[in-house]
Amino acid sequence: MAYYPNPTHAHGIPRGGQAYSIAPGPGPLRPPFSSPSRRSLPLDEYKPAQAFKAVTGRTQRLHAPIHFDYPGQQYQGVSMREIRLKGPMAPIRGADDAVFAPTGLQRIVFRIIWPGYRQVDWCRTIVVDGNITRAALAFQIASNFARFVEKSQYETPTATDWMISPTCVRFEHLFLVSLRNTFENVWQADVALDVC
């Protein structure tokens, strides 16, 4: 069972074990974050509303996740605030890698589904045309999250565990860990929060 604490309260470790981060979707367990205050945001994977797609399921093979880290780190993520401030100069390992070149994709559907904010429908198209670099993609994702947080802080959440507000979760708390292909051409970000 995954352990997802309320980021606005004291962090504890579940009885009898360590608080390991679980990689959303298919794949192995991710090593724990090196920062004791960093926690994974639960990834609510997109499922299509159309009955026929929900019944038939996926029709395309999922692509491998695209990871974002500082140089010399692995599975720790990069501050979205720093990505927004520094743009292509943000210190990201493999910043110039053409991350979508192996896929042949021209554009992706980027979705944000935040716990307690399902009523905020965030679905955008990102042009990747096979040549987008890891740094440019990170900037696109961080920009989407900046706008999402700005919009969502005025919404009333259905659950307050991951509440977005000036006194709870803010944009500067977000770390981009990876981008995951969750359904056909839909991609979602694996996000961590560090609210120390």
pLDDT at 14 over 70: no
Mean pLDDT, the chain, whole residue set: 83
pLDDT at 32 over 90: no
Q: Which residue has the higher pLDDT, 13 or 75?
A: 75
pLDDT at 26 over 50: no
- Confidence (pLDDT) at 196: 65
- Confidence (pLDDT) at 57: 56
- Confidence (pLDDT) at 58: 55
The DSSP string of the chain is ------TTS-----TTS------SSSSPPPPPPSSTTEEEPP------SSHHHHHH---SPPPPPEE-B-TT-SSSBEEHHHHHHHGGGS--TTTT-BTTTTTT-SEEEEEE--TT-TTS-EEEEEE-TTT-BHHHHHHHHHHHHHHHHHHHTTSPPS--TT-BSTTSB-GGGEEEEEEEEEETTEEEEEEEEE--
Task: Categorize the per-residue pLDDT at 49 as very low, low, confident or very high, splitting at 50, 70 and 90.
Answer: confident
- Confidence (pLDDT) at 55: 54
pLDDT at 18 over 90: no
Give per-residue pLDDT as tens, 118-174: 999 999 999 998 799 999 999 999 999 999 999 999 899 999 899 999 989 999 999
